[in-house]
Structure 1
Amino acid sequence: MAKRRLCIFLHYFPEGYYPLYVQYYLNELSLHFDEVRMVTNRRKIKKAPELMNQDINIQYVENEGYDFGMFYKAFQKIDPLQYDQIACINDSNILFGELTEFINWGTSQPIDFWGLIDSYEAPWFSSHPNNYHIQSHFLVFNEKAINSLPAFFKSMDVTYIYAEKDPKKLRRFIVDQWEIGLSQFLLNKGLTSASYFNSLNLFAKYNIKGKNVTHSLYRELIKEGYPLLKKKVALKKSWRSFLGWEEPWEKLIKEFAYNGHDLPLLINDIKSLI
């Protein structure tokens, strides 16, 4: 039997509904994967997702361990041998473009795991001599990497992750061991990786120093064809908002967004989250 392609989408939200940007993202992902599973925090849903494809599976879990906890719990519910590709994608970005070009590129690469963009950012608490990693907001594992995930999970102290109540300590641990550590674990096992956008090339091209290109160069990145906007960028109010002016991200979305989206509806939905 032919193996399938699975996307695990990680979504945390405190309110009893699913934001429109999440529904748009899931619908686009459903065009490229045989199965899309949204893992989200357990809560009472008061408003059904009106625009989300009906064949998207939803798994409710306790909010433990940030993205790692959600992905780990989803992985325990599947038979990984049924899949030759598993994507781990989270809701930290707003998708306003199409993914076809990037999915086709990634599928054509003779590599074990890939993503949209990489990073060399080294936080002060990092335990790694090499901090290179594929940014975990959009990460795709091919068969060899899928087969290595159980060993990675065994290397993680899941008991500590679920028990740690200090959010700062937990976040640092997850960034170190999951965001950076997953790529380093796979690379140290001899697996190969690639990213569509190269962060070092972008910093060099625009002659700017920074830690995370999705923050430091988000305007330039979008103009380069990047289909995502960091949610933190959109949710940060500036003086323009208080004067009733458009924020830079609004102009970018209007200029570069996929025309299949209802842009005024999407922008208003994003603003409602601020």
Structure 2
Amino acid sequence: MTTMQKSLCVFIHYSKHLNLPNYVRIYINELMNYFDQTILVTNKRALKTESLFQSQNGTVLFVENEGYDFGMFFKAIQSINISKYHQIACINDSNIIFAELGPIFTWGLNQQVDFWGLIDSHEAPWFSSHQNNYHIQSHFLVFNEKAIKCLPLFFADIDIKSIFNEKDKKQLRKLIIDKWEIGLSQFLLKKGLQSASFFNSLAFSAKYNRKGKNITKSFYKELIIEGYPLFKKNFVVKKSWRSYIGLKEPWVKLIEEYATNQWNIPLLIDEMRST
């Protein structure tokens, strides 16, 4: 790493709304504490960009919505000179942040690895083309220098055009999971690169003596208690029968107990559920 190299966070967000949701604004501004530059990559629309960022190191990149998160990250990488960066993160809007990320990035700074993330997975979908399905979950991925240099090789190795041209949403989702979600980690590992995750899914499952394919769903209570700072957006926007009879969802009490006070997360959740 040279003294001139910087760190970059690429934050991926899709929405039809013309205002940036507060949960995204909070997430991005927390991430900006740990990176020299931040790019918000989002689909083309008349988004109101005034006062989006808490500092001057943030920019917005509008792109066509092709290939979901993969397509947006690819286009962001194409728009920069990757040699200027010693670290690039790819983080998306599929989670709500309710706790500060300081412990995560302190841990990441001390890892002697080429890429790392918040949580890993061994989940193997039936359509996977991989013998080994281990991967760092793509909603929170950080690439260090060796991994950054491999990104152009990875993009050249897959058929990007066929992904962008796929119109069937179910088939596109399968392609993204296989080629991007699982495929990226496997590509880097086969290049001899080293990885790590803040939460190890196998160790976590063994600790609680319970199996779960995706522990962010099956172990969300335990994860929150042990310091996981994110919560799946799908849990929030999807209401169960409890909501319709005036009862709190099981996860609400956890969020209220473990969320940082500075962001008023319960109010933010109410806002999301009312839109």
Short-chain TM bin: over 0.9
1:91 aligns with 2:105: no
Moved beyond 6 Å, runs of 4+: none
Aligned length: 272
Indicate the residue corresponding to 1:194 in structure 2. Answer: 196
Q: Give the match's secondary structure for 1:31.
A: helix
Q: In the alignment, what sits opposite 1:53?
A: 54
In structure 2, list runs of 5 or more residues that go unmatched: none
TM-score norm. by structure 2 comes to 0.96
Separation in structure 2 between the aligned mates of residue 165 and residue 120 of structure 1, nearest angstrom: 28
Shift of the 123–49 alpha-carbon distance from structure 1 to 2, 3 Å rule, reads farther
1:82 counterpart = 2:94: no
| Worse overlay, 16-25 or 256-265 | 256-265
Q: Scaled by the length of structure 1, what TM-score is found?
A: 0.96
- Is the 8 Å Cα contact of residues 88 and 138 (structure 1) preserved in structure 2? yes
Cα gap change, 1:149 to 1:253, in 2 (>3 Å)? same
Task: Give secondary structure in 1 for the equivalent of 2:132.
Answer: coil
Displacement, 1:89?
A: 0.3
Residue 137 of structure 1 is aligned with which of 123, 136, 139?
139
Tell me which moved more, 244-253 or 183-192: 244-253
- Give matches, 1:220-259, under 5 Å: 220-259=222-261
Out of 185, 199, 207, the residue aligned to residue 183 of structure 1 is: 185
Q: Say yes or no: does 1:73 pair with 2:57.
A: no
* C-alpha distance in 1 between matches for 2:109 and 2:149: 18
Matched position secondary structure for 1:200: helix
Match of residue 262 from structure 1? 264
Structure 1 residue 210: Cα displacement: 1.5
User: Residue 14 of structure 2: which of 3, 12, 15 is its match?
Assistant: 12
RMSD across aligned C-alpha pairs, in angstroms? 1.3
Counterpart Cα distance in 2 of 1:199 and 1:223: 15
Partner of 1:114: 116
Unaligned runs of 5+ in 1: none
Distance (whole Å) between structure 1 residues aligned to residue 66 and residue 55 of structure 2: 27
Overall identity of the aligned pairs, in %: 59
Find the aligned partners of 1:247 and 1:13 in 2 and give their Cα distance: 25
Aligned partner of 1:170 among 147, 172, 175: 172
3-state DSSP class of the match of 1:78?
Answer: coil
Q: For 1:207, what is the secondary structure of its paired residue?
A: coil
SS of the residue 2:262 aligns to: coil
